[in-house]
A = this chain, B = another copy of it.
Amino acid sequence: MTAWPQIRPEAADAPASGIVDLMSYARGREGLIPLYVGEGDMPTPAFIVAAAERALRAGETFYTYQSGIPELRTAIAGYLGRVYGGSTDPERIFVTVGGMHAFQIAVRMAAGNGDEVLIPTPSWPNFDGAVTVAGAVPVSVPMRSDAAGWHLDLEDLAAQVTPRTRAVVINSPANPTGWTARREELAAILGLARRHGLWVIADEIYGRFVLDGPEGARAPSFRDVMQDGDRVMFVQTFSKNWAMTGWRVGWLEAPAELRPVIENLVQYSTSGVPGFLQRAAVTAIEDGEELALDQIRRARLGCAIVCEGLRATNVVDLPAPPGAFYAFFRLEGRSDTGRVVREIVDRAAVGLAPGSAFGTGGEAHVRLCFLRDPAQLREAVSRLQRVLPDLAAGREG
């Protein structure tokens, strides 16, 4: 930015998303199967669209409540009760412009100039980005991986706590690794946070995307171990369960005492979420349970297709992900995954995300989103089977 020296460093230094880079590279390629983004391929169903249309036609096109219409906050609280048990006070719910905006607000409250935020990696790159923009320092805590998959060593986490640490971000089930914390692990993390007075920012947006065990299970949650007064905030979204990525509707759940602060942070960033989008969200959460279950079944089927298909190449290292909807795999002998994913675009017309986008420990991996049409996934796997052996190092043509 030499031409514009007066840009604040926290803005100028925010890292670009490596996923977006690859998307730009691939944009417009004919016949490309795009598996680089964290979204399914199903457009939002008509019953949800219809709810937005009804509200639009009824003239709900004016400014509305900063933190969400009461009907939606109540509907979200009811949903949380159905999935997690217990009861949730709607005053704890703040509707936001997607989970991203919820995370921005959570970080803005927890950490600022020079503060440190712990983030187990590999991780969704937007955590790092939003922490940097807030003027705080994202501190990577690399997870460990072995043949059984990824895990977070609590001692690794504890070792990174300093007097400037203000928060720890826990995304479980995790993007991109699928890591899913056990209840005891969440309790231990919460214990650490309590001892040091840290905020836990819990991203449990994949909480129902459990890929092993019986259908219908949900992942362990901080809700299972926390008590009143714990400093835990949840970021959530309508994107994944209800096929609404492009709607930009999510929510932050935080102590109700923070309501005046959070309403100000909404007011001074987006001033709220369009009322007619919120009506659609009410319909999604109240009438969309079958849709959510269908999305989860689709992810489980996609997982089986992709994991079996890629392993059959014998050049891929891919432990089964227990949660979320990504295959995060290594290609034998190749750690230059930024180049690998471009070669895959060029030679197989499949779009994957480079592991380097996900921070420390993920560099040698590639991410594939399998929340997609099974037929399309089979085609993608077939294409990958043709080129991956070539692309693996030392296995020329």
Binding site for B on A (CB under 8 A): 1, 3-4, 6-12, 14-17, 20, 37, 39, 43-44, 46, 49, 52-53, 56-57, 59-64, 66, 97-98, 100-101, 104, 108-113, 115, 126, 129-130, 132-133, 135, 166, 197, 199, 231, 243-248, 255, 257-258, 260-261, 263-265, 267-277
Contact = CB atoms under 8 A, between A and B. Distances in A.
A275 B263 CA distance: 26
Contacts of A57: 46, 49
A25 to B, nearest CB: 15
5 contacts: A6-B199, A20-B66, A61-B245, A61-B247, A63-B246
B59 A56 contact: no
Given A4-B255, A6-B231, A113-B113, A44 B17 contact: no
A102 to B, nearest CB: 11
Given A14-B265, A135-B112, A268-B133, A56 B49 contact: yes
Contact of A268 (B1, B39, B129, B267): B129
Contacts of A59: 43-44
A263 B63 CA distance: 26
Number of copies: 2
A201 to B, nearest CB: 13
A270 B270 CA distance: 9
B6 A61 contact: no
Contact of A7 (B46, B246, B247, B258): B258
A16 B111 contact: no
Contacts of A109: 7-8, 11-12
B264 A64 contact: no
Given A49-B57, A126-B268, A274-B247, A257 B43 contact: no
Contacts of A268: 14, 100, 104, 126, 129-130, 132-133
B244 A61 contact: yes
Nearest to A244: B61
Contact of A56 (B53, B264, B265): B53
A27 B275 CA distance: 17
A271 B4 contact: no
